[in-house]
Structure 1
Amino acid sequence: MVIKFGTDGWRAVIAKDFTFENVSKVALAHAEVLRRRNLKRVFIGYDNRFLSENFAREVATIFYSEGFEVNLPPNAVTTPLVSWAVKHRGFDGGVMITASHNPPVYNGYKIKEGFGGAATPEFISEVESFIGKVSPKGSIQEGSLKEQDFTEEYINAVRNGVNLEIFREKVIKVVHDPMFGSSAGYLRRALENTKVTVCEIHAYRDPLFGGRAPEPVEKYARLLMEKVRAEGAFCGIMNDGDGDRVALIDEKGNFVNSQLVFALLMLHLLENKKLKGAIVKTVSTTYLADRIAKHLGVELIETPVGFKHINAVLRQREDVIFGGEESGGYGFPQFTPERDGLLSALNLLELFLLKDKTPSQMVEELFKRFGRAFYKRIDLTVEPKRKEKLKEFIKSPPTSLGGLKVREVKTIDGLKLVFENDGWLLIRPSGTEPLLRIYCEMPEEKLRDEVLKEAQKLFS
């Protein structure tokens, strides 16, 4: 089989394509690329998925046998921790064994370069070119692997990214759902010695993730929403399987979509923290960001979907203060050039406590200032005729849809139609799953549903 990396790493079904043999091939190729760059120190992390620790130990053993200095933590860790350790503890690269938010049958291999972020397309291409072509330099042996645990250091570093005094002024209860993933306990530990009580659900390892995908989206948030209501909590925080994404539940038990979370975080950094610099968003992210940027005179840069594209901007620009995407992944370059679910959660709580407002009140204030926005994404299975249809639309895009006139067409990732009311529709193939994704954001909920219905008809 041909092993190809997608939007964020190589992901495949366990025992079908994600096997010890194939993982070993990828690790050997990765080691070869690092060796050619004279790089020697590697940090290898893993999440709570089925066999993740075993796959990670296999990768660590290969790197050790190839002459690398390897650190394999004694427990499952989050992807942001791996990024932080690589950047701040002197590693030349990193590996994270995870399939992030994919269903339980998947696992994956993420590569971090020495700057702490996802590997560049050039680096990935080089790794792919060596897969299956590199033989072990010596016998595969399990040597004296270092097992240093950076969890406490990482959590303390995240705590330093917010004003902890604010968390000591008001008594609130927060419900945290790590979705059986490796971020279990992180939020609770980050908020120790404050007046914030963290109540946890699904905070233990279950490789089947309760029979669902560990993705922080509304359809998987029902139990968290119910728990917030039952506990009378201030809000709920949800992280995906490897802890780099976040979702927010307000005090009423309602799901706050990721687009609104992006806008809230953006405003917090610019207005409350007084950070100066550019903002990066993917093509699937809210028009509220455009309105905020225009209002505050801030440069807004748009990229294709996938945080690796945001990373590309971060490598070129030192003035970027925030980047994020529709999937609930938000990054703070001053910390690491990668998404961080824990730091995102603490910044949200800091915003609410600083303003002395509930999440729903903050959303309402956002709408009053910049207009309402209703967002939804639907996924269709990939079929050859749907792929061809998308190619046709990209070549000859419609001038109107659902009675709305198209103001602008963007093709940096699939097809994006921007309408005269600022609303938009994006159609693109997923980079991590065999799906065709249709995204839509409109100033009215009914209008959004009508446009999505029209778009679905085009691909029926």
Structure 2
Amino acid sequence: MSPVKIKFGTDGWRAIIAQEYTVDNVKRVAEGTALWLKQQGGTRVVIGYDCRFAGKLFSETTARVLGKHGITSLVAPGFISTPMVSLGVVKTGADLGVVITASHNPPSYNGYKLKSKLGGPSVPADVSAVEDLIPDAVPTDLPSYAELKEKGLVEEHDFEQIYLDHVHQGFDIDLIRNSGIGIAYDAMYGAGQSAMKKLLPNATHLHCEVNPGFDGQAPEPIGRNLKEMAATIKNDPNLALGIANDGDADRIGLFDGDGEFVDSHHILLLLLMYQYEYKGIKTGEVILTFSVTDKLKQLAEMYGLEYEVTKIGFKYIAEIMAEREVIVGGEESGGLAVSGHIPERDGIWIGLMIAEYMAKSGKSLKELVADLYAKVGSFNCDRDDVHVENDRKWEIVKQAKEAPFSKIGPYTVTRVAHVDGSKFYLDGEDRWLMVRPSGTEPVLRVYAQGADPAEVRKILDAGREEMKI
């Protein structure tokens, strides 16, 4: 049987455990990683794993392959978040980071992410180079993990503590703790649970235990996956902020004091407001992926800041952050980054920044959003993930690009943009429908922006009807 061709998607290689995600295939990917690293003259790699099934096994497997090539693996004593690996690479001066995670994918998946020595996702060119070096044959005659420890080719570092020290330097944690703001935190059974218990011991902690099955739900911090968090906040008048992270704690979802979900579009705008108006950061660029609200461009223009729109995938933002000064960068799916930290999305860091904004301003999250609307106008965004056969998925994507719709329901298409998928502006610039394929699943992502949730639903339904999905 011919070996599986291993392809890295939008954010690493992901596959179903025991189907394509096997010990043998992890060995092959690790071999490609080792060969590439040796070409670069690299000798040290930080390896971390989250709370998914067999993370430790796959992490140790990776270390054994690297160790065969004389490469030292720097490992944590237990699970850690993706940002802890990225920061760990920077703080230890390592040459690369490897994270065994499938991020927000369903529990049946695991994955393998590459992190650059700059502390963010490896650039697409480097990922492609590793991919090209993945052999068909499974590496054999590997040293044991115990043997590598004895030889000093496996070193243990407390990457969580390194991260916590960095957080204490970046934030006024005492101000947040003593502000009287009641915080609920939902780890979604993910890798943020231990750090957040230490940072915010008095918060209400939900799903902060290890459960590799994630209670049967994909650990993606979006409104429909966080009903227990919403109910918890609604039923407790003392709770004013809800923070949720995904499986490897690099993404975020927020709730206001009424238990209403606050999406990434709004968080990005709030981060820009906080840094510009309260922290006095007046220089730098705003970087957003194609699916993010255009209101972020509007606010950047109001502040006299340059902005750039990239393809979907945080790696494109990280590439720019590594070279230029960026105040805020982010994607619609909850991956957000800010100046003063590594060029990496970090769900814990962003959650703390919003909590600090509330503490410093003395305003509720709802009041901060109202301040935002006063500047750019109110808006709402949502997305449908539609399961379709791959052939049909690509057919729709091709149609949207080559023969774009002129009308979507009652709306006239006034402009079409193609960057990564296709965005149809409807009756002006304030409402739009966008369609793009998932990079990792047989899913078509359909996005919309409108004035309020009812209009967004109307646009999504009209778009799906037009595409017959």
Query: Smaller-chain TM-score range?
Result: over 0.9
**Match for residue 43 of structure 1?**
46
Given that residues 237 and 246 in structure 1 are in contact (C-alpha distance below 8 angstroms), is that contact kept between their aligned partners in structure 2? yes
Which of residues 2, 5, 8 in structure 2 aligns to 1:2? 5
Larger CA deviation: 34-43 vs 393-402: 393-402
Alignment of 1:37-76 (within 5 A): 37-76=40-79
CA distance in 1, matches of 2:38, 2:445: 38
* Residue 438 of structure 2 corresponds to residue 430 of structure 1: yes
CA distance in 1, matches of 2:276, 2:196: 24
**Match for residue 331 of structure 2?**
325
Could you tell me how far 1:281 is from its partner in structure 2? 0.6
Could you tell me how far 1:169 is from its partner in structure 2? 4.9
**Match for residue 447 of structure 1?**
455
Structure 1: stretches of 5+ with no match in the other structure:
none
Percent sequence identity over aligned pairs = 35
* Residue 211 of structure 2 corresponds to residue 206 of structure 1: yes
> Per-residue CA shift, 1:407-430, capped at 9, x if unaligned?
432111011112314222110001
CA distance in 2, matches of 1:159, 1:282: 30
Which of residues 217, 221, 232 in structure 2 aligns to 1:216? 221
Could you tell me how far 1:37 is from its partner in structure 2? 0.7
Given that residues 28 and 134 in structure 1 are in contact (C-alpha distance below 8 angstroms), is that contact kept between their aligned partners in structure 2? no
CA distance in 2, matches of 1:394, 1:400: 15
CA distance 1:115–1:134, shift in 2 (3 Å)? farther
**Match for residue 158 of structure 2?**
149
Which of residues 366, 375, 394 in structure 1 aligns to 2:381? 375
Aligned to 1:4, the other structure's residue is in SS state coil
Alignment of 1:107-126 (within 5 A): 107-126=110-129
Could you tell me how far 1:88 is from its partner in structure 2? 2.1
Larger CA deviation: 15-24 vs 396-405: 396-405
CA distance in 1, matches of 2:165, 2:418: 42
**Match for residue 257 of structure 2?**
251
**Match for residue 87 of structure 1?**
90
**Match for residue 104 of structure 1?**
107
CA distance 1:446–1:230, shift in 2 (3 Å)? closer
Larger CA deviation: 59-68 vs 381-390: 381-390
Structure 2: stretches of 5+ with no match in the other structure:
none
Could you tell me how far 1:334 is from its partner in structure 2? 3.1
CA distance in 2, matches of 1:115, 1:180: 28
CA distance in 2, matches of 1:452, 1:95: 38
Could you tell me how far 1:382 is from its partner in structure 2? 2.9
Alignment of 1:309-458 (within 5 A): 309-315=316-322, 317-383=323-389, 384-419=391-426, 420-458=428-466
**Match for residue 162 of structure 1?**
171
CA distance 1:414–1:229, shift in 2 (3 Å)? same
Which of residues 18, 21, 26 in structure 1 aligns to 2:29? 26
**Match for residue 231 of structure 2?**
226
**Match for residue 267 of structure 2?**
261
Could you tell me how far 1:333 is from its partner in structure 2? 4.4
Given that residues 386 and 459 in structure 1 are in contact (C-alpha distance below 8 angstroms), is that contact kept between their aligned partners in structure 2? no
CA distance in 1, matches of 2:177, 2:252: 23
CA distance in 1, matches of 2:178, 2:186: 24
CA distance in 2, matches of 1:343, 1:66: 35
Aligned to 1:160, the other structure's residue is in SS state helix
Give, as a single letter, the amino acid of the residue that structure 1 aligns with 2:439: G
> Per-residue CA shift, 1:205-243, capped at 9, x if unaligned?
000101101110111111111222333212111010000
> Per-residue CA shift, 1:421-455, capped at 9, x if unaligned?
42221100012322100000112333222221111
CA distance in 1, matches of 2:220, 2:285: 28
**Match for residue 187 of structure 1?**
196
CA distance in 1, matches of 2:252, 2:177: 23
Given that residues 176 and 236 in structure 1 are in contact (C-alpha distance below 8 angstroms), is that contact kept between their aligned partners in structure 2? yes
Aligned to 2:41, the other structure's residue is in SS state coil
Could you tell me how far 1:457 is from its partner in structure 2? 1.0
> Per-residue CA shift, 1:184-203, capped at 9, x if unaligned?
032232246xxxx3121110
Given that residues 57 and 72 in structure 1 are in contact (C-alpha distance below 8 angstroms), is that contact kept between their aligned partners in structure 2? no
CA distance in 1, matches of 2:179, 2:354: 15
Aligned to 1:115, the other structure's residue is in SS state coil
Could you tell me how far 1:133 is from its partner in structure 2? 5.0
CA distance in 1, matches of 2:63, 2:404: 49
Aligned to 1:231, the other structure's residue is in SS state coil
So what's the TM-score if we normalise by structure 2?
Answer: 0.93
Could you tell me how far 1:6 is from its partner in structure 2? 0.2
CA distance in 2, matches of 1:198, 1:30: 40
* Residue 300 of structure 2 corresponds to residue 293 of structure 1: yes
Could you tell me how far 1:65 is from its partner in structure 2? 1.9
CA distance in 2, matches of 1:136, 1:11: 20
Larger CA deviation: 358-367 vs 167-176: 167-176
Give, as a single letter, the amino acid of the residue that structure 2 aligns with 1:71: L
Aligned to 1:457, the other structure's residue is in SS state helix
Q: How many residue pairs end up in the alignment?
A: 455
**Match for residue 172 of structure 1?**
181
Could you tell me how far 1:378 is from its partner in structure 2? 0.2
So what's the TM-score if we normalise by structure 1?
Answer: 0.95
